[in-house]
């Protein structure tokens, strides 16, 4: 592996990890990790649909993913889109992907499976300089967007009813968040692969939520753990050429998630027979609308 | 084999379909898979565990890749991967605040780690990535009689176990707090159900592909629960819907050039949309003419 490729991977990976960390922190807060997962599947389908229709795969992927993010928002209506709706949407969109794959496999000489594999697993070490710059730019853009809406989004995620009453545009913020999620999914899928996206969205954010309840500290921690996972993972993949970089990065991030659970588990043990949690705490999600 | 054409005579069409042993085996496997996923999926949708089910179906990738690497007999890898994932995803300490978000993060991490492990196995075994399409989207052409037998045995075991825990599980799913206070072992039931779901997904995936099992696991139960609130009827309806989906899509796939996965997902989605539209219409009707 040449130095330039590693440099590109570091640049792209760092900025994607920061964006994923911030978006992921809110995804965990809002219990919407499934939406991120779904959007990465949509990105993958979008790439295939784009190829089947003869577009550039990247254009197809972005248009399709953003469109699907809007669709998820519309399906959710005024409240957060629930897991069942996402599940049905995934099933149907993947069905479309199968059809597109069949078209693609018959219309081109390339094997559909091989292109599906690159879309699934991307390759963080296969980026050229301009792709890395594009990934970094989109990462910065999404990071800025998240920082801009962090405060009202936090309010509307924690207590939608009160936020609505105080004039916060709860529905609009939810749509904006799904769009940011779609942007991250589309960018990460084509640059580093759908697999890495889920690892970078779920694991660092989950670890941060386990470690601190303080919002801004948590966001910082989440982005930091993501960046650290990318750096450590790339180093591991560099040292052991048998291990794919995606696997190494995901493993580091998952280890952080596991490790973050340890102190809480130790702290919780002594007061197992403490007070009973209130129903509000039990349900876990601050949302008021019934499932 | 001559190119199959659809005539208007349904009886002769069905007779033509059943003339081929591979179609008979596909129908047998599809029927067992539909019954299994109609029942297990019904509980999964009721418990809002779609994300967990989706993650279980993704485990077919590390299962297949690991099985190939370690030289396990085909099916064993699937079962091991699904059981490990089911155990890793079983919720612990659901009483804390933010538990729903953390649970979704945990499932995301399990999926990311599973896919990462699959990717690692694949690159270690240095085999060319073949059959990925079949793995994801299923192939109903190569189902052997012994696969059907194994599928039937697993289905009988899983359904028998579910028959034993079905009633308390229903109680624990609908009102966990009340069930817990009345002495129902809610946590044991949760873990048990995840294990059964893992077994069912593993059994079905190896015959039908990761996508198809999800189409059978989510859409038919969602349709059934849309249509009726009575558990017994809803369960029967769910199985009926799954059977309708698999039979009609097997027929459609046989008589056309397009892949099975596209028909399964689309027919399931169409039925769900019909149910959605139907219930919305009757509700409006009921509102317009108060009794």
Predicted pLDDT of residue B1: 41
What's the CA gap between B237 and A171, in Å, rounded? Answer: 35
Which one of A82, A203, A284 has the shortest CB-CB distance to B112?
Answer: A203
pLDDT at B240 over 90: yes
Nearest to A22 by CA among A157, A250, A216: A216
Three-state DSSP at A214 gives coil
**Closest CA of chain A from B145, distance in Å:** 26
* 8 A C-beta contact, residue B203 and residue B25: no
List the Cα angle B59/B64/B65 in 5-degree steps.
Answer: 100
What's the CA gap between A274 and A283, in Å, rounded? Answer: 18
* 8 A C-beta contact, residue B131 and residue A113: yes
Q: Which residues of chain A have pLDDT under 70?
A: 1-2, 57, 104-122, 264-265, 267-291
**What's the length of chain A?**
291
Nearest to B194 by CA among B202, B183, B204: B202
CB–CB contact A282 B111 (8 Å): no
- List chain A residues with CB under 8 Å of B133: 101, 105, 112-113, 116
**Closest CA of chain A from B132, distance in Å:** 6
Which one of A90, A98, A244 has the shortest CB-CB distance to B259?
Answer: A98
Instruction: List A residues 96-125 in contact with B (Cβ-Cβ < 8 A).
Output: 96, 98-99, 101-102, 105, 112-114, 116-117, 121
Instruction: List A residues 168-227 in contact with B (Cβ-Cβ < 8 A).
Output: 195, 198-199, 201-203, 205-206, 209-210, 213
Three-state DSSP at B182 gives coil
Write the CA distances from A168 to A151, A175, A286, B122, integer angstroms: 10, 13, 16, 48
What's the CA gap between A209 and A226, in Å, rounded? Answer: 13
More confident residue, A228 or B278: A228
- List phi, psi (to 5°) of B290: -70, 140
Which one of B51, B106, B124 has the shortest CB-CB distance to A242?
Answer: B124
Predicted pLDDT of residue A289: 43
pLDDT band at B121 (very low <50, low <70, confident <90, very high): confident
Pick from B134-148, B185-199, B259-273: least confident = B134-148
- List phi, psi (to 5°) of B59: -70, -10
**Closest CA of chain B from A91, distance in Å:** 6
Predicted pLDDT of residue A110: 46
Predicted pLDDT of residue B113: 92
Which one of B108, B117, B265 has the shortest CB-CB distance to A37?
Answer: B108
- List chain A residues with CB under 8 Å of B101: 28-31, 33, 209, 284-285
Tokens representing residue B143 in the block: 């189902």
Count CA atoms closer than 13 A to A183's CA, side-chain side.
Answer: 23
What's the CA gap between B234 and B223, in Å, rounded? Answer: 9
Domain boundaries, chain A: 3-260
What's the CA gap between A117 and A100, in Å, rounded? Answer: 15
Tokens representing residue A135 in the block: 């990934």
Mutation target vs A (from B58, B91, B119; most A CBs, 10 A cutoff): B119
Q: How many CB pairs under 8 A join A and B?
A: 200
The answer, for A285 touching chain B at a CB cutoff of 8 Å, is yes
Task: Count the Cβ atoms, other than its own, within 10 Å of residue B282.
Answer: 10
pLDDT at B239 over 90: yes
What's the CA gap between A35 and A257, in Å, rounded? Answer: 20
* 8 A C-beta contact, residue B94 and residue B187: no
Q: Indicate whether this complex's ipTM tops 0.85.
A: no
CATH topology of domain A3-260: ABC transporter involved in vitamin B12 uptake, BtuC (1.10.3470)
Predicted pLDDT of residue A1: 53
Tokens representing residue A246 in the block: 């995606």
**Closest CA of chain A from B119, distance in Å:** 7
* Model pLDDT for residues B136-162, shown as the tens digit of each residue: 656 666 778 888 888 899 999 999 999
CB–CB contact B101 A210 (8 Å): no
CB–CB contact A82 B117 (8 Å): no
What's the CA gap between B229 and A151, in Å, rounded? Answer: 40
Alpha-carbon B243 to chain mean position = 12
Predicted pLDDT of residue A208: 94
**Closest CA of chain B from A96, distance in Å:** 6
Task: Count the Cβ atoms, other than its own, within 10 Å of residue A230.
Answer: 30
Tokens representing residue B174 in the block: 């609908």
The structure's pTM equals 0.84
* Model pLDDT for residues B66-114, shown as the tens digit of each residue: 887 888 776 788 889 999 999 998 866 554 556 788 888 999 999 999 9
């Amino acid at each position: 592996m040449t130095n330039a490729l590693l440099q590109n991977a570091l640049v792209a990976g760092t900025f994607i990890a920061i964006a994923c960390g911030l978006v992921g922190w809110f995804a965990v807060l809002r219990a919407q990790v499934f939406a991120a997962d779904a959007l990465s599947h949509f990105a993958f389908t979008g790439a295939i649909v784009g190829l089947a229709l003869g577009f550039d795969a990247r254009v197809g992927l972005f248009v399709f993913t953003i469109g699907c993010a809007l669709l998820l928002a519309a399906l959710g209506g005024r409240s957060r889109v629930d897991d069942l709706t996402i599940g049905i949407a995934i099933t149907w969109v993947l069905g479309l992907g199968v059809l597109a794959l069949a078209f693609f496999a018959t219309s081109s000489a390339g094997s559909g499976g091989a292109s599906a594999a690159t879309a699934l697993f991307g390759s963080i070490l296969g980026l050229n300089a301009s792709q890395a710059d594009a990934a970094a730019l989109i990462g910065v853009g999404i990071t800025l967007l998240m920082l801009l809406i962090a405060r009202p989004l936090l309010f509307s995620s924690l207590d939608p009813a009160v936020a609505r009453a105080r004039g916060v545009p709860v529905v609009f913020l939810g749509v904006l968040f799904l769009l940011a999620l779609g942007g991250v999914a589309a960018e990460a899928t084509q640059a580093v692969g759908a697999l890495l996206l889920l690892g970078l969205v779920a694991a660092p954010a989950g670890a941060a939520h386990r470690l601190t309840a303080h919002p801004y500290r948590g966001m910082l921690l989440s982005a930091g753990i993501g960046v650290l996972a990318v750096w450590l993972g790339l180093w591991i993949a560099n040292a052991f050429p048998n291990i794919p970089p995606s696997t190494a990065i995901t493993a580091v991030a998952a280890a952080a998630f596991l490790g973050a659970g340890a102190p809480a588990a130790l702290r919780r043990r002594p007061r197992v027979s403490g007070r009973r949690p209130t129903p509000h705490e039990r349900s876990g999600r601050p949302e008021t609308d019934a499932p | 084999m001559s190119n199959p054409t659809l005539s208007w005579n349904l009886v002769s069409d069905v007779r033509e379909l059943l003339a081929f042993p591979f179609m008979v085996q596909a129908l047998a496997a599809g029927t067992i898979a539909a019954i299994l996923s109609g029942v297990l999926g019904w509980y999964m949708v009721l418990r809002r565990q779609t994300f967990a089910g989706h993650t279980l179906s993704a485990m077919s990738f590390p299962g297949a890749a690991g099985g190939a690497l370690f030289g396990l007999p085909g099916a064993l890898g699937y079962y091991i991967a699904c059981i490990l994932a089911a155990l890793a995803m079983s919720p612990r300490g659901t009483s804390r605040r933010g538990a729903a978000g953390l649970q979704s993060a945990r499932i995301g991490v399990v999926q990311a780690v599973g896919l990462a492990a699959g990717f690692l196995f694949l690159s270690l075994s240095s085999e060319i990535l073949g059959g990925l399409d079949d793995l994801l989207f299923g192939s109903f052409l190569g189902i052997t009689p012994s696969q059907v037998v194994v599928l039937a045995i697993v289905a009988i075991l899983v359904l028998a176990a579910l028959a034993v825990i079905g009633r308390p599980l229903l109680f624990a799913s609908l009102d966990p707090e009340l069930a817990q206070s009345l002495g129902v072992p809610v946590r044991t039931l949760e873990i048990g159900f995840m294990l059964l779901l893992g077994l069912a997904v593993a059994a079905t995936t190896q015959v039908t592909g990761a996508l198809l099992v999800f189409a059978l696991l989510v859409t038919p139960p969602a349709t059934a629960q849309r249509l009726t609130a009575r558990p017994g009827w809803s369960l029967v309806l769910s199985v009926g819907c799954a059977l309708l989906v698999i039979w009609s899509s097997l027929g459609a796939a046989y008589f056309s050039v397009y892949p099975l996965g596209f028909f399964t997902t689309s027919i399931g989605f169409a039925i769900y949309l019909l149910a959605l539209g139907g219930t919305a219409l009757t509700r409006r009707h009921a509102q317009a003419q108060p009794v």
